[in-house]
Structure 1
Amino acid sequence: MTTRLGPLRHTGTVLCAAFIAVALLAAAFPGLFGDVDPLRSSMPESLQAPSARHWFGTDLLGRDVFARVVHGARYSLLLGVAAMLISLVLGLLTGVLAGLSGRAADEAVARVLDVVSAFPGVLLAMLVVVFTGPGVFNIAVAIGISGVPKFARVIRAQTRSVKDAGYVTHAVVQGRGRGWILARHIAPNVLVAVPVIATIDIGTSIVAVSGLSFLGLGPQPRFPNGA
């Protein structure tokens, strides 16, 4: 059975890689997929069904949906990556500091993370956007803050585990400084799990951006993926 399925074993991986490549290509060079202006509206062409001229049809204002999807991919990916980086940096700092601190400080940070995690990510992002106002930067910050706990928890646990490892104790006995131990032993072992979480968080952030856009708090209409 394994031999017969051999040629199809990696089909899913190849298809996923091809889709990601097309999405990145559309984000980098949207003009390769059509020359239609995603912001051009034509009321006589509103709400048209998919056709050879408009592959995905048109919206209420007569704008080409396919062109808006292609051009909007750039902003969606940029917002997703920006929100992930904000979550990663804040989560890394919070997790490492909590893991290396004493029990009282560690418990305090853990309880704060519990409070932040109690709010759904989109709801927390909505609260931040309501106070700061809609905008690309504010959206990235809002979604980034909502994603801090998922990074901080994993990094905190990894830091506490590595801190008590034998090779770290050996380095302390040798008289190594905290900075050297952090860079040489703790950081490389703590960052092992980060790429997986970061990859998933990009997709989660893009979905959160879509939810905010549906509620009118996402990118404004001057952007292709705005309302």
Structure 2
Amino acid sequence: MTVDHLFVSRHELQQLSDDLHAVRGLVEELAITVARLDRIGRGDRNGNRTKPSEYPAPMNLGAYQAGEDLHTALVFCVNQVCEQRGITDRPGDTTPKLAAWIDAHLMSVGTTQGAGETVHQIRDAIRNVRFQICPPVKPIDPAALTSARRTRLSANGIATLARRLADAGDERYADLNRRRVKYLREIGRITPVPGPWKPDWVLYEVGDVLDSHERLRDAANLPDTA
């Protein structure tokens, strides 16, 4: 326990808060991966990547299980805090609402016995969700990247993929984030792909976004010849 009666450090609580803020977007992206509308996050319930011919199931079980594990970890944390701290104001049962409640009660989480293990369980579950949405690409396999370019992802999914590419050494995509995708759409460089998915799902072809991002960067770096 720290001098301010916390079972985890303030730094760990801040890291947890940062992860919790991303949960709503991750849940939306995970729903796409579970439905297998993307072809990057495919895997079994243990996170093992599989070939299409090896995995004919109509949904991504690995992604589904990751969502269930995250929900379970959040529910456990809420119950633990409420029971030990005598809190009766419980959140709704959806994953985003649970995450928002925990973020709003971080100090109560920190002063709850067993908080260290609970915080690690939540962060591990969030890391697994991120993995299922977009597995690491290290080193970059040209064939896998070619396949990824044909997938359809939301702005969140593309930003996650761009981070993976940048981490693998391709600095061209280091600044391809969600705001960048939105900007590319606003200036008419990319358009969403129509399809038979939910009306609030805005998906783009990955290759189109990567190419448009790179062309705009190249144009911005051209010397002024006027």
TM-score by length of 1: 0.25
Which is richer in helix?
Answer: 1
Larger of the two Rg values belongs to structure: 1
